[in-house]
Structure 1
Amino acid sequence: MQEDWKNKHIVFFDGECGVCNFWVQWILERDKKDAFLFASLQSGFGQKFLSERGLETKVFNTLYLWKPDQYYLVKSRAVIQIANLLGGIYTLLNIGKILPAFTGDVFYDMVSRNRMKLSAQKCFLPDQHQKKKFIEV
């Protein structure tokens, strides 16, 4: 495992979902500040994260963003924070913070319920540099 994972923002995602894998690739391509690492919720690391917080360990329809020893965010708040950390034009998503989390989560949940229909199950194969950004323990 990467030695500096505690200094990164870790994105937990459904490793079997084509939509989730698309967004992981999207973040990877824009992560110019090297701020993120990734772990599937099905991995040992993902399962440990979920169980330590008393979260669901069998249903993987929620995106989590975790900054160790600081915070973890879910659903729309995680998406907004990821955009903020990417910087640039993506920080425009900060406008979503003026809405209650529930409002953004309604849209998030609608996409989540239909995500398997939205994308064919495509296999994502990271390149050598990208592989270093995944926590698989």
Structure 2
Amino acid sequence: MEDDPASRNVSSARLPDGPVILFDAECVLCSANAHFILKHDKGARFHLASMQGEVGSMLFREHGVDPADPSTIIVVDGVNVRKNSDAVLCIYEALGFPWRFASLFRLIPGRLRDPIYAWIARNRYWIFGKRPTCWIPPEEFRSRVL
């Protein structure tokens, strides 16, 4: 991703302020995590966009990930983009106490964390299941899902 905001495409220009989490709304684990984040993000800092939606699929492609077969969760925050275990850790750190204790996993180098993350991502449907339809957030959180 280029650092010049003027070079960002139309999808990025329409993004709300603050971080946007890109996720798979058909994955049981991913959608449960999305609901958990929305529920525990007391400052309403995060927005979410699913790979199945227009904004989410554009952002996945913009950051080099196939939205039909994503291999990672992505957090887009302005020009900063986080993927894999780094994305998960930045989310939980931002949720505050007690979730910020997840930052202790940063003591483990990414080159060791990311293969575990990648294995779970590749096998997420087999391990956790796949929803027959996309997850729809509860009414109180819908304004935060793009």
- Scaled by the length of structure 2, the TM-score of the pair is 0.80
Q: How far does the alpha carbon of each residue in 1:69-128 deviate from its partner, in whole angstroms, 9 at most, with x for none?
A: x30100100011001110111111112222221211111112112211222334533222
Q: Given that residues 14 and 61 in structure 1 are in contact (C-alpha distance below 8 angstroms), is that contact kept between their aligned partners in structure 2?
A: no
Q: Given that residues 5 and 37 in structure 1 are in contact (C-alpha distance below 8 angstroms), is that contact kept between their aligned partners in structure 2?
A: no
* CA distance in 2 between partners of 1:126 and 1:52 (Å): 25
1:133 is the counterpart of 2:144: yes
Select the residue among 8, 29, 38 that pairs with 2:39.
29
Within a 5 Å distance, the mapping from 1:100-119 to structure 2 comes to: 100-119=109-128
CA deviation after TM superposition for structure 1 residue 5, in Å? 4.1
Q: Given that residues 22 and 60 in structure 2 are in contact (C-alpha distance below 8 angstroms), is that contact kept between their aligned partners in structure 1?
A: no
Q: Given that residues 21 and 73 in structure 2 are in contact (C-alpha distance below 8 angstroms), is that contact kept between their aligned partners in structure 1?
A: yes
Select the residue among 80, 91, 106 that pairs with 2:100.
91
- Scaled by the length of structure 1, the TM-score of the pair is 0.84
RMSD between superposed Cα atoms in Å = 2.1
Amino acid of the structure 1 residue aligned with 2:92: A
* CA distance in 2 between partners of 1:62 and 1:119 (Å): 16
Where does structure 2 lack aligned partners over 5 or more consecutive residues? 1-13
